Chain A
Amino acid sequence: MAASVRDYASSVKPTWCPGCGDYGIHAAVKQGLVKAGLAPHQVLLVSGIGCGSKLPDYTTANGFMTLHGRPLPVATGAKLANHSLKVITVHGDGDSMGLGMGHFIHTARRNLDIVDLIQNNQIYGLTKGQYSPTSDPGFVTKTSPDGSFELAANPVALALTAGGTFVARGFAGDPKGLASLIAQALEHTGYALVEILQPCVTFNRKNTYDWYRERIYNLQEDGHDTSDRFAALRRASEWGDRIALGVFYQTRRPSYEEQVPGLEQGPIATRELKGLTTAQIERLRAELG
């Protein structure tokens, strides 16, 4: 029987601030999983540290909360150990674009078959409001009293250049649209990024729901060709009066685990454990001296 949103509802109540974008993301993740026809036991949500990284606790899917910045290495290990599992990372802009930046580039380059959800609220909310790697230049926070003078990291543009095979952007204020993008990402084989623009109602008073609504438009309603990586890059570089949402780019190339010879016989996690034969033990002894 197909899973419903109710099957994903955990008894743990979220502790996010009232109005937080994470509620919209939470609703969209559950709806997206249902749309993709996945049951909670088939799914692993890996998160790091941050407000949004509390999300796995609020669902009934399998969850793994790891160190700040490290969800992608954990997801890589989980996927290689059991590639029949649907592995999703869910982490913030600080986690993914700060400490986890190296992992992000390499995971996209390897085309590991996972869905990477980056909750981008352009601020460190859990630690009470410091500017983040995705904060706009000039953004005033406790750690940038004169305004940030760093160029903002752009997850979509970075994923496009690093080799991501499905690259999309959604908005926490449009959970239905976001759920559709997440379902498409889940149906894709290979590294799938969904960057999620998300207001932080407590510490980011600039990038509000209204601020986004004045700027966002949908690529699929604007004649964008998702097979054209350079057109996607041009759309990704828009940030100001117009901010693009939807699917930027999709292509197919072999995923990382499709190319690992040892995984052809099926997931490691479900294989029968067998002891070594005497001949194998002797050969190892001889080899290792």
Chain B
Amino acid sequence: MAYVITELCVRDGVCSEVCPVECIVMGPEGDPEWGMAYFIDPDSCIDCGACEPECPESAIFPDDEVPEEYADWPAKNAAFFSEGPGYDAA
């Protein structure tokens, strides 16, 4: 289980500030693949839900409630940490 940031992200960043385990990282500015959003590390997320109500665009969902149109975003969040810049971007 983990929370997932989706395409609705406007890079406000408050999610990252409230995360108690510091597992939300901003995609590098201007990066064509990762620059559009923040990402949640599913291996470190503790499911506390602190980020979800803070998001001004309601872009964050529990992974079992992600709307169908954003179905590829759980994998994208995970990929940011396994293949993308991950914590090095923090």
Contact = CB atoms under 8 A, between A and B. Distances in A.
Contact of B48 (A9, A19, A174, A176): A19
B78 interface: no
Contacts of A26: 46-47
B48 A24 contact: yes
A285 to B, nearest CB: 61
A18 B50 contact: yes
B82 to A, nearest CB: 17
Q: Which of A16, A19, A173, A175 has the most CB of B within 10 A?
A: A19
Interface string B23-49: 000000000000000000000101111
Interface in A156-213: 172-176, 199, 201, 209
Contacts of B21: 24, 173-175
Contact of B50 (A19, A27, A172, A175): A19
B10 interface: no
B42 to A, nearest CB: 12
A54 to B, nearest CB: 14
Interface residues of A, number: 19
A21 B53 CA distance: 17
Contacts of A175: 21, 44, 46
A131 interface: no
| Among B44, B48, B52, residue most surrounded by chain A Cβ atoms (within 10 Å) | B48
Nearest to B54: A18
Contacts of A174: 21
B75 interface: no
A24 B48 CA distance: 8
A26 B20 CA distance: 14
A173 B1 contact: no
A35 to B, nearest CB: 14
Contact of B44 (A16, A176, A199, A201): A176
B46 A27 contact: yes
Contact of A23 (B48, B52, B53): B48
A7 to B, nearest CB: 13
A85 interface: no
A20 interface: yes
Contact of A173 (B20, B49, B52): B20
A23 B47 CA distance: 7
A18 B53 contact: yes
A99 to B, nearest CB: 28
B7 to A, nearest CB: 23
B20 A172 contact: yes
Interface string B45-63: 0111110110000000000
Interface in A37-58: none
Contacts of B18: 19
Given A24-B21, A173-B20, A175-B21, A18 B52 contact: yes
A26 B1 CA distance: 12
B27 to A, nearest CB: 23
A176 to B, nearest CB: 7
Q: Identify the 4 closest CB pairs spanning chains A and B, nearest first.
A: A19-B50, A23-B48, A18-B49, A23-B46
Given A23-B47, A24-B20, 14 more contacts: A16-B48, A18-B49, A19-B18, A19-B48, A19-B49, A21-B20, A23-B20, A24-B21, A26-B46, A27-B46, A173-B20, A175-B21, A176-B44, A201-B50
